[in-house]
Amino acid sequence: MQVSVENTSALERRMTIAVPAERVETEVNKRLQQTARRAKVPGFRPGKVPMSVIRQRYEDAARQEAFGDLVQSSFYEAVVEQKLNPAGAPAVEPKSFEKGKDLEFVAIFEVFPEFTVAGFESINVERLSAEVADADLDNMLEVLRKQNTRFETVERAAQNDDQVNIDFVGKVDGEVFAGGSAKGTQLVLGSGRMIPGFEDGLVGAKAGEERVVNVTFPEDYQNLDLAGKAAEFTITVNSVSAPQLPELNEEFFAQFGIKESTLEGFRNEVRKNMERELRQAIKTKVKNQVMDGLLAANPIEVPKALLENEVNRLRVQAVQQFGGNIKPDQLPAELFEEQAKRRVVLGLIVAEVVKQFDLKPDEGKVREMIEEMASAYQEPEQVISWYYKNDQQLNEVRSVVLEEQVVDTVLQKATVTDKSVSYEDAVKPAQAPAEAE
């Protein structure tokens, strides 16, 4: 087999492969012999059909089948011989496939970039430290109470934080518009759920009262037909309900799957959850800084095949997340290209760090991570046992641990600054560069 390789770009390769005619004919004859054993031809018993008849009837199909198999097998042999690492399936251009002649074709494909990860010393990381103070715990308990607020009907006028039940009809230029009317809508005043001015116009209203509220749709409103237009809403208030925060009692604790009858026990459980969240938030922020640093220090070209595959994965995820009657390929690729490129490049860099430093998942850390996750459940031992009986889930944990080991490897050479902050600042999501600006 003859192979020649041309570098058409940094990553693209154009490989010409010639397969000897003898090998081609051997493969064709092999398929014809297999066909002869099972072919049913009128006038002949199965397995007794003359080869000349078999060849006349089936040679074209056998040759096409052999072509497909030979392209696949010879391409694999060639990339191994040339020590190439394809990043995707090749585009095949047949050049010659005549009977009695060598099979010749061109395979065009991209290879994975070859590089060494460097620049650890140029990476700056701010590592936060914080504690869950009693005040943080008190705030969290209030958040949990507010999330479980009940509303009880009152006879007074509505005020912010009250829930009103309303019917409304909206008009633009004196005409009712689609989606601008509803009956029996529950609305918490001050929630910002409706367009500006709508909720303010109901403060002070009582059950049975009708109000006309004039508002203007925002210029960036999602419905472009309404954006920037003045509207008039006729609103009937059916009822007014005041918020009632639940008591911190056993019934309330049970809503969170916590079998505690005392406030102290519940506070301890909530604190443990907050501490878990804190550790994860700090770890995530450090990891993101490390990954940003690796990206900046190691600019590499991305194989188009890998980028396209990642874009398609993100399309599928978007459809699964948001639903709707839309197919993934209907979503514009441009929406996902930046995120896809980041993920592909980081995947290549992380894999190379693992290779350069010969990293293997630390099974002790794998166990620690599983125990950490299991501690959030009522029966942690059952969760731990489940992970160790489920190879797929266990390998996912190993992958996460291996990525953490990559971060630790970088941190040994990076410039790390420790900073003490409040719990709220530590768990608050980091701003993206554009948002910070």
Whose structure tokens read 């109000």? 211
Flag whether pLDDT at 57 surpasses 90: no
Q: How far lies 36's CA from each of 61, 66, 253, in Å? A: 13, 16, 76
Flag whether pLDDT at 290 surpasses 60: yes
Q: Which residues pair with 110 in a beta bridge?
A: 12
pLDDT at 321: 86
How far is 59 from 27, CA to CA, in rounded Å?
11
How far is 372 from 380, CA to CA, in rounded Å?
9
Count how many residues are written for the chain. 437
pLDDT tens for each residue of 207-237? 999 999 999 999 999 888 899 999 999 999 9
pLDDT at 322: 81
Q: How confident is the model at residue 435 (pLDDT cuts 50, 70, 90)?
A: very low
State the DSSP H helix or E strand holding residue 211, giving kind and residue range, or none if neither. strand 210-216
Flag whether pLDDT at 49 surpasses 80: no
pLDDT at 242: 97
Q: How far lies 208's CA from each of 144, 182, 213, 235, 369, in Å? A: 33, 16, 16, 10, 57
Flag whether pLDDT at 433 surpasses 50: no
For 57, counting Cβ atoms within 10 Å of its Cβ (0-12 exposed, 13-18 middle, 19+ buried), the class is middle
Q: Mean pLDDT, to the nearest integer, of 389-415?
A: 96
Calculate ∠ Cα 118-119-124, nearest 5°: 145
Flag whether pLDDT at 3 surpasses 80: yes
Calculate ∠ Cα 263-377-248, nearest 5°: 20
pLDDT tens for each residue of 150-193? 999 999 999 999 999 999 999 999 999 999 999 999 999 999 99
Q: Which residue, among 13, 16, 52, 18, has the nearest Cα to 36 in the 3D structure?
A: 52
**Do residues 84 and 75 lie in contact, with contact meaning Cβ atoms separated by under 8 Å?**
no
Backbone φ and ψ of 222, nearest 5°: -65, -30
pLDDT tens for each residue of 62-110? 888 899 999 999 999 999 999 999 999 999 999 988 888 899 999 999 9
Q: How far lies 24's CA from each of 19, 286, 371, in Å? A: 7, 57, 58
Burial readout 131-145 (b: 16 or more C-beta within 10 A, e: otherwise): ebeeebbeebbeebe
Q: How confident is the model at residue 437 (pLDDT cuts 50, 70, 90)?
A: very low
Amino acid at position 367, single letter: R
58 versus 273: which is more confidently predicted? 273
Q: How many CB atoms lie within 10 A of CB 434?
A: 6
How far is 171 from 211, CA to CA, in rounded Å?
14
pLDDT at 231: 96
Q: How confident is the model at residue 241 (pLDDT cuts 50, 70, 90)?
A: very high
Flag whether pLDDT at 407 surpasses 50: yes
Q: Mean pLDDT, to the nearest integer, of 278-299?
A: 96
